[in-house]
Amino acid sequence: MTQPPEPPAQNPATPDSPAGAYSPAPAAPAAAGYPSPPGYGQGPGYPPPGYDQGPGYPPPGYGQPPYPAQPYPAQPAPPAGTNGFAIASLVFGILGGILLAVIFGIIALVQIRRRGQRGKSLAIGGLVWAGCWLTMMAVFVGAAIVHGRSDRSGDGNSATVDIRAVALATGQCADGDIMYEQFHAVRVVPCSGPHHAEAYAVLTLPPAAWPGAATVQRRADDACIKRLVQIDRQGTKDGNLMPYSIQPTEQSWSTGDRKVTCVVFYLDKHTGSITR
């Protein structure tokens, strides 16, 4: 092994050197056959110092167990609005839409309970209005029924209504041409006022096979004339009065109809009743 050359000798301070000047001591020669002292070279395969953390150890600062995520505080639910069905129920209730007010009011109350919405008082208000309308309708209908009954009880006739002529009862007066409208609607009016006709009797023909339209009409007319004579003998002599009968048809006869309605028809309007 080749030895390095020896460094030149360092002379001690000379008189020419400044006082107190420092002169480094001469380095000792390296012993022959020994390698360089440690610290002057790195062995092959070793990483730079300070980077080897040792096997099995995680990097500092990354080996800590993760902290559990902190849940966010629950946000309050936004305030629920007013139920639309409740508003509709109140509107229809005020306007008289009874059916829609009741339907929308019930739907609104169910939804408000489930969703926590506002508008319960509106839905109840709509139902109350619907109830008020129903009450007023019931009052009006009841008043009309009572008024109609009072008219019938006072004059023996119904108030002005339309019925079929064949349905006239004894003592009812009618306005119109009954002779041509016996199977159509006629207007029933009080006998105390002007009228064209009055039903003075309702008779029944004896049961039998259908004898023919002419025979039925003759029998009905004869029976009605006899009854009119019994009621008012002078009535048959009144030129303004014409006796008339409404008899069964062949079709109604086959169903058991034997009723004959006896009517007097006035050429000029008459006031009063011949049955009283």
Sheet with strand 161-164: strands edge to edge: 161-164, 185-189, 173-175, 195-204, 259-270, 241-246
Return the pLDDT at 188: 86
Region of poorest pLDDT, from 203-207, 219-223, 243-247: 243-247
Give CA–CA dist 272/22, Å, rounded: 165
Beta-sheet pairing, 241-246 with 185-189: unpaired
pLDDT interval class at 126 (50, 70, 90): very high
CB 199 within 8 A of CB 263: yes
Torsion (CA) 212, 214, 217, 222 in degrees, nearest 10 = -110
pLDDT at position 223 over 80: yes
Return the pLDDT at 271: 87
The model's pLDDT over 225-265, given as tens digits with 9 standing for 90+, comes to 888 888 876 655 666 778 888 888 899 899 999 999 898 88
Q: Which residues pair with 164 in a beta bridge?
A: 185
pLDDT at position 17 over 60: no
Return the pLDDT at 91: 94
The model's pLDDT over 23-47, given as tens digits with 9 standing for 90+, comes to 555 555 544 555 555 554 455 555 5
pTM passes above 0.85: no
> Which strand (E) or helix (H) includes residue 181?
none
The model's pLDDT over 43-70, given as tens digits with 9 standing for 90+, comes to 555 555 555 555 555 555 555 555 555 5
CB 240 within 8 A of CB 267: yes
Return the pLDDT at 21: 46
Q: Hey, what amino acid is at 135?
A: T
Q: CA dist 237 to 177, 211, 226, 274, 275, Å? A: 21, 31, 14, 14, 16
Which position has the higher pLDDT, 76 or 157?
Answer: 76
Which position has the higher pLDDT, 68 or 99?
Answer: 99
CA 30 from centroid of its chain's CA atoms: 111
* pLDDT above 90 as % of the chain: 27
On the CB side of 19, how many CA atoms lie within 13 Å of its CA?
0
Return the pLDDT at 79: 55
Give CA–CA dist 127/98, Å, rounded: 8
